[in-house]
Amino acid sequence: MKILRNYLNKIKPNFEEGGKLSAFRSVFDGMETFLFVPNDTSKNGVNIHDAIDSKRIMSFVVIALLPALLVGMYNIGYQNALAAGTLETTTGLQMFLYGLLLMLPKIVVSYGVGLGIEFIVAQLKKEEIHEGFLVSGLLIPMVVPVGCPLWVLAIATAFSVIFAKEVFGGTGMNIVNVALIARAFIFFAYPSVISGDSVWVATEPVLGLGAAAPDGYTCATALQHVANGGEVLGAAGTALSPCDMMLGLMPGSIGETSVIAIAIGAIILLWSGVASWKTMFSVFVGGIAMSLLFQYTLPENPVAQAPFYTHLILGGFCFGAVFMATDPVTSARTETGKYIYGFGIGAMAILIRVLNPGYPEGMMLAILLMNVVAPFIDYCVVQSNVNARARRLIKKN
């Protein structure tokens, strides 16, 4: 690390004002502050001096995402082997490497497009590069199916970065979750890419890994089976066990299937203090409450009659509760508001699933809707506290 630090110090003058590479100053600054804690301190005003800056916070989130990402890669290969009927002859390493080959291009495209736009904006505005896309760039490929074309992913990433982030001023100024806007863009602009039955399982070999599935092979997600009132089936057409659902060995968006991997990520986020347990806990409470309510009020609705725990472990519910709802930029910031915000997301997700069987997921729209409402929730909480204090002051006088 000392060698790297010395090298950066040596080339830094080239990027300073008047240097031959000064046009790329923001790019150099972004790389330097990502690798090392900045040693600059504020000169005046009231400030908090801490080694944990926003880049370090984003790094914790990336680390928390890794278990879900790695399981998602393995699951890509596992589902391909099931669909092709080669499960018994395919090793776990081959499954993982196959998933890695399919996932890596999506990550490269996401980061390449998103960071490219942010670099350009930073240069034009002569500002530092915002670090928020360090997380969004990984989230975007994790919330899409394996069959999502790279060109669609590139367009969605560009749209989300420009219209959900940069037009509002960059990291910390966006009012909705950037990764979910990318998914929403794909859902509304290219619905067959994210809601069809032929996009959830990879069906072609890549560089000698994987196997070809039968011609015309399709496979619905577990939530689609629930919405149709049937048994939850996997890629091979056999019923999924609760263990399969918890492990994430089922068709779905790449990073959203494994409850266990997501739980590990949740522990990391809570231990590091990056995420709020109040928001996370309230999402599950809201989902359970709404699910139980519908079980008693809509006896003929197949989605409503699904056990509450089925709603929690299927689809993007857990992933959204842990990684999306807790986004500190777009969620509620008051302590009481976090309970209301989280409960609203969980309840809204089940509401959409039950009353709109054509869209069995629900979590994406629920979080985006509550993102918009979050400032109003905080305003009401603050005003309630102000009014309560005013009443106490009047009563004392």
SS3 sequence of 20-89: CCHHHHHHHHHHHHHHCCCCCCCCCCCCCCCCCCHHHHHHHHHHHHHHHHHHHHHHHHHHHHHHHCCHHH
Per-residue pLDDT at 30: 63
Per-residue pLDDT at 302: 83
**For residues 95 and 4, which has the higher predicted lDDT (pLDDT)?**
95
Tokens 């400030």, residue located? 47
Tell me what the mean pLDDT of segment 107-127 comes to.
86
Per-residue pLDDT at 322: 96
The whole-angstrom separation of Cα 59 and Cα 53 is 10
Which tens digit of pLDDT belongs to each residue from 326-380? 998 899 999 999 999 999 999 999 999 888 866 778 899 999 999 999 999 999 9
Task: Report the percentage of the chain scoring pLDDT > 70.
Answer: 85
Per residue in 294-329, is it b (16+ CB within 10 Å) or e — as a string? bbeeeeebebbbbebebbbbbbbbbbbbbbbbbbeb
* Range of 11-15, 63-67, 122-126, 214-218 with top mean pLDDT: 63-67
DSSP class of 214: P
Per-residue pLDDT at 328: 87
Among candidate residues 249, 224, 378, the one with its CA nearest the CA of residue 306: 224
The whole-angstrom separation of Cα 104 and Cα 106 is 5
pTM: 0.88
| pLDDT of residue 108 exceeding 80 | yes
| pLDDT of residue 252 exceeding 90 | no
pLDDT band at 51 (very low <50, low <70, confident <90, very high): low
- Quote the mean pLDDT of the chain: 85
> What is the number of alpha carbons within 13 Å of residue 361 lying toward its C-beta?
25
Among candidate residues 274, 381, 267, 253, the one with its CA nearest the CA of residue 317: 253
E-only strand ranges, the chain: none
Per-residue pLDDT at 183: 94
Which tens digit of pLDDT belongs to each residue from 208-218? 898 888 877 77
Per-residue pLDDT at 236: 65
| pLDDT of residue 23 exceeding 70 | no
Tell me what the mean pLDDT of segment 86-103 comes to.
93
**For residues 18 and 183, which has the higher predicted lDDT (pLDDT)?**
183
Per-residue pLDDT at 176: 92
The whole-angstrom separation of Cα 127 and Cα 121 is 8
* Range of 120-124, 192-196, 373-377 with top mean pLDDT: 373-377
Per-residue pLDDT at 39: 60
Distance from CA of residue 149 to its chain's centroid? 19
Per-residue pLDDT at 237: 67
The whole-angstrom separation of Cα 309 and Cα 324 is 20
Per-residue pLDDT at 235: 65
Per-residue pLDDT at 214: 83
| pLDDT of residue 63 exceeding 70 | yes
